[in-house]
Amino acid sequence: MSSGTSGTINRLTGWVSSWHDIYKFLALIVITIYATYYAPNPVKAAWYVIILTAYYFSKNEALWLAVFLATSDGFMSFFGLYTVTLTPLPGLPAIEISQLYIILTVIKAAGTRKSPKIFYNKYLQVLLVYLLFSIIWGQMMGLSGELNVYFRVLKGVLPMMLFYSIPRLFTDQDSYDRLFRIIFVIVLAAFAAQLITLLGGLSPLDIVGLDTGEAEEGSSDFRVFFSANCTLIGLFSALYYLNLGVVKYWQRLLFYSVVLASLAMAVLSATRGWIIGFSIILILGFFLTGITKAKRLAEFAVIVLPLIYFAVSNPTIRDQLDFSRERLGKMESIAEGDLSAGGTLQRLDLRSNRVMEGWRQNPIFGWGLSDTGYMYGDGHVGNQSLLAMSGVVGFVLLNGFLVFFSIKLINIYINSGRFKSRDKALLVFIIFLSGWFFIHSTSGQQFNYVGMPAKIIPQAIFFSFGAFRYEQSIKRIYGKKV
């Protein structure tokens, strides 16, 4: 059998497996929704223990990573931060089951014999050392002695262990493919939920009577953006696959749908940083990686034109688009010296000034994971918050990692020579990271030494997949073993 025929069979088998994964994922999500919102506490806790145990004995890493990401980041307005939790000890705060999942990934990764090459591993060790320093430094700067405060530190640090476990559990292309295909389902479901909420005034959570909050239909304060972190990694992976020359027409339609849904959710949410960040990603992605061929544009039109017609013909959506355009237009006032963008943006004046004042009091190492560090930490201003908690040293080290990651992938692309057409998808990593950093700098903190699972899981996936693709390119170009 030829290698081409074998590759085609493997790809077809992969899509069949992914459909099975999607069915299982949806079944697990439906049961978890019932257990979380309807079942009594003992039954709910028992179900959480069951799925954690099932994951530990499962080899399907993609399925379970998607499940626990959805419980943390949300699925069609269900779940979210501190919704799917267990209480490990009396008197301590509840802990998300995704945190317990992370512990299990570390145990499973430590027990595997696989030791993949990760080109940024040494740099990651430097960041780990600085994280440990920040914990100790925070103690010196003053941290309340109550047990729940130390528990907060632990919950912030624990998700960073995914940078160790995911590369050791996801060691082949098929694992990433299966994961991304489930994430596509989450993104499209989030878009559907956003439209339902905008057009009907009630989210799916409200519709089933599980929440008393109501959104006014067509109101100017509609700011709903479901599963935002899943949308980030979904947009990246869709663009990545669009840059591969081996995907079929119907697969490209799926990828275009995810791209369009991601941008549409940002626009309908009127979140300016995400709109501009996604626009940067799409503009650079479409023009620098060669997606703009006439045939590809025609395929994209099949998806986008009907939705544009629907949007402009629906008064509620049209009003929301006007609201988003109005908010974007107020960004012009920043160039005129009004950092509040007409009173609609507190990040660049009130929030930023407050956090920077805290940083100036301790500029070199910041306040670390201390009471003062948490007081000045503000997720609305990413770079300023990073400075306040980690200081100039931590700021340079963390942003240096993003630069180092990008330079390594750019270098391997430049050196790919006759394989350049096959490795052009590497450019998607750099393009996407630039837009991601814009979101981090303008709309909300993304990159930090600590974080919650909903934000850290997509980052661990992104960088781990980048390391995997880097080593695959090294093998293809130089004939080295991965």
Supply the DSSP string of 100-118, one letter for each residue. HHHHHHHHHHHH-------
This prediction has a pTM of 0.91
> Distance of CA 132 to CAs 125, 135, 160, 210, 452, Å?
11, 5, 12, 41, 17
Scan for tokens 């096959």, then name that residue: 422
Q: Where are the beta strands (DSSP E) in 33-149?
A: 85-86, 95-96
Q: What are 85's strand-pairing partners?
A: 96
273: Cα within 13 Å, side-chain hemisphere: 22
Check residue 380 and give its pLDDT: 85
Check residue 293 and give its pLDDT: 62
Check residue 215 and give its pLDDT: 44
Using an 8 Å Cβ cutoff, are 228 and 70 in contact? no
Q: What are 78's strand-pairing partners?
A: 75
Backbone φ, ψ for residue 78 (5° rounding): -85, 155
Check residue 52 and give its pLDDT: 97
402: Cα within 13 Å, side-chain hemisphere: 20
Please name the residues in contact with 168: beta carbons below 8 A apart, sequence gap of 6 or more.
Answer: 109, 112, 114, 115, 116
> What span, in angstroms and rounded, lies between the C-alpha atoms of 8 and 474?
23
299: Cα within 13 Å, side-chain hemisphere: 18
Check residue 480 and give its pLDDT: 55
* Tens of each residue's pLDDT in the chain, 482 residues: 444 444 444 554 555 567 899 999 999 999 999 999 999 999 999 999 999 999 999 999 999 999 999 999 999 999 998 999 998 777 778 899 999 999 999 999 999 888 889 999 999 999 999 999 999 999 999 998 777 888 889 999 999 999 999 999 999 999 999 999 999 999 999 999 999 999 998 999 999 988 644 444 444 478 899 999 999 999 999 999 988 866 677 788 899 899 999 999 999 998 989 999 999 999 888 777 665 565 666 777 777 788 888 888 899 999 999 888 888 877 665 555 545 555 555 556 678 888 999 999 999 999 999 999 999 888 888 899 999 999 999 999 999 999 999 999 999 888 876 566 667 788 999 999 999 999 999 888 999 999 999 999 999 999 999 999 999 988 887 775 44
Using an 8 Å Cβ cutoff, are 384 and 378 in contact? yes
Please name the residues in contact with 342: beta carbons below 8 A apart, sequence gap of 6 or more.
Answer: 330, 333
Please name the residues in contact with 144: beta carbons below 8 A apart, sequence gap of 6 or more.
Answer: 371
Check residue 419 and give its pLDDT: 60
